[in-house]
């Protein structure tokens, strides 16, 4: 058993460094690793993010690179002399409100360019943040219970988001073992977290806002039996660190390189709607007992809405708030095991479900007054 590899002396690039996951990863790298430099790559690096990292910076240099992931010259500057890239940045969209070309440009072309620049600039390790949605669920809503990396599933993807993430993941894994300019080899892997929650999660804020508008009653959009297993953000960033350590370790690199790993933790499986309720019930929210309409009628309505929007598309672009694929996502049992990440990467959840729930609910409580004020005054 080899001693755990460290990233001491490394120069790490984090794309999407100011996002929900990115800023947590930067903080963890500062707290746990003596890296020489961390490069925060994002379209817009807010000053408060940098200020929030000052207290744990130590000797590490924090550099800011603001620009577009589709700009090769910008990427060359950002990656010159780097050793490890954590590629987190992507466009996330489940309502199909983002044009496909934009989605493809950022999620696929951006990833492809990053990989090419890694090869030109001799970057040894590349960790790609994928998603469980590259598996599905498929439009038939076929369930997966405690799925593993070997689970066989009829993956038919409808969302532009899932499709572009899947292609970017494939390109990442195919690039494993490519020869770098200096004769070394590129090592890549992909991490597929389930739905990521925690302090700072904007999706939870949306649901809380809807609940406030609905007289403190959360909407039920998923059947209670449609279980998923969300994962706490603190556990996801720890898995990223373990992946980077593994790719740097000569004894583990060949085992991990070119592979993907599902990331979950010990959050108990439940439906998306019940999960929101568990986090928000301590704040005085109740939840609807049943779906607003039977699921079959909901599907028909979504189909009609999508058809009308498609007819109007040449004149005006209207995005329905719910579509059939989102309804399927919210109502399909889709749970995954983290055992392979545990075995290969040495990943184990750092935060228990109790701790993760407490932190998330406390954060939501801190946001509640401002959310109420915003909604009541609008």
CA dist 219 and 212 (Å) reads 10
Token pair listed for 317? 């672009």
Q: 137 Cβ partners below 8 Å, 6+ apart?
A: 143, 144, 328, 329, 332, 334
- How large is the angle between the packed helices 353-376 and 272-280, nearest 10 degrees? 80
How many Cβ atoms sit within 10 Å of the Cβ of residue 197?
A: 22
Question: Checking phi first, is residue 215 left (phi over 0); if not, alpha (psi -120 to 50) or beta?
Answer: left
Q: How far apart are the first and last CA of the chain?
A: 59
CA-only gyration radius of the chain, Å = 21
Token pair listed for 140? 């038939």
CA dist 98 and 112 (Å) reads 20
The secondary structure element, H or E, covering residue 136 is none
In the DSSP assignment, the letter for residue 95 is S
Asked if 306 contacts 227 with a C-beta cutoff of 8 angstroms, the reply is no
The secondary structure element, H or E, covering residue 328 is helix 324-330
Residue 14 burial (CB < 10 Å; 0-12/13-18/19+)? buried
How many Cβ atoms sit within 10 Å of the Cβ of residue 80?
A: 14
User: Chain-centre distance of CA 154, in angstroms?
Assistant: 22
Residue (of 96, 104, 93) closest to 324 by Cα position = 96
Which positions are catalytic?
161
CA dist 197 and 230 (Å) reads 7
């Amino acid at each position: 058993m080899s001693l755990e590899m460290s990233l001491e002396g490394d120069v790490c690039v984090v794309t999407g460094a100011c996002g929900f996951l990115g800023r947590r990863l930067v903080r963890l790298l500062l707290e746990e690793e003596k890296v020489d430099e961390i490069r925060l790559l994002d379209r817009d690096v807010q000053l408060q993010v940098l200020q929030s990292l000052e207290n744990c910076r130590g000797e590490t240099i924090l550099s800011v690179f603001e620009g577009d992931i589709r700009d090769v010259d910008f990427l060359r500057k950002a990656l010159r002399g780097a050793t490890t890239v954590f590629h987190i940045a992507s466009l996330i969209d489940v309502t199909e409100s983002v044009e496909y070309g934009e989605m493809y440009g950022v999620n696929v072309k951006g990833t492809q360019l990053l990989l090419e620049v890694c090869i030109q600039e001799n970057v040894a390790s590349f960790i790609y943040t994928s998603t469980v949605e590259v598996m599905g669920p498929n439009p038939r809503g076929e369930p997966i219970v405690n799925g593993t990396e070997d689970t066989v599933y009829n993956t038919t993807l409808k969302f532009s988001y899932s499709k572009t993430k899947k292609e970017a993941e494939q390109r990442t894994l195919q690039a494993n073992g490519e020869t770098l300019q200096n004769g070394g080899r590129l090592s890549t892997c992909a991490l597929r977290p389930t739905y990521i929650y925690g302090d700072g999660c904007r999706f939870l804020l949306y649901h809380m806002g809807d609940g406030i508008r609905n007289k403190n009653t959360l909407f039920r959009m998923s059947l209670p039996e449609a279980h998923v297993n969300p994962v706490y953000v603190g556990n996801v960033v720890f898995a990223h660190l373990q992946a980077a350590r593994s790719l740097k370790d000569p004894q583990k690199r060949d085992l991990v390189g070119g592979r993907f790993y599902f990331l979950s933790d010990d959050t108990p499986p439940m439906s998306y709607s019940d999960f929101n309720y568990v986090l928000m019930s301590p704040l005085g929210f109740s939840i609807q007992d049943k779906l607003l309409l039977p699921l079959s009628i909901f599907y028909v309505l979504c189909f009609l809405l999508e058809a009308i929007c498609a007819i109007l598309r040449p004149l005006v672009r209207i995005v329905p708030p719910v579509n059939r694929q989102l309804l399927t996502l919210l109502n399909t049992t889709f749970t995954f095991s983290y055992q392979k990440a545990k075995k290969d990467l040495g990943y184990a959840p750092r935060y228990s479900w109790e701790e993760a729930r407490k932190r998330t609910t406390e954060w939501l409580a801190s946001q509640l007054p401002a959310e109420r004020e915003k909604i009541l005054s609008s």
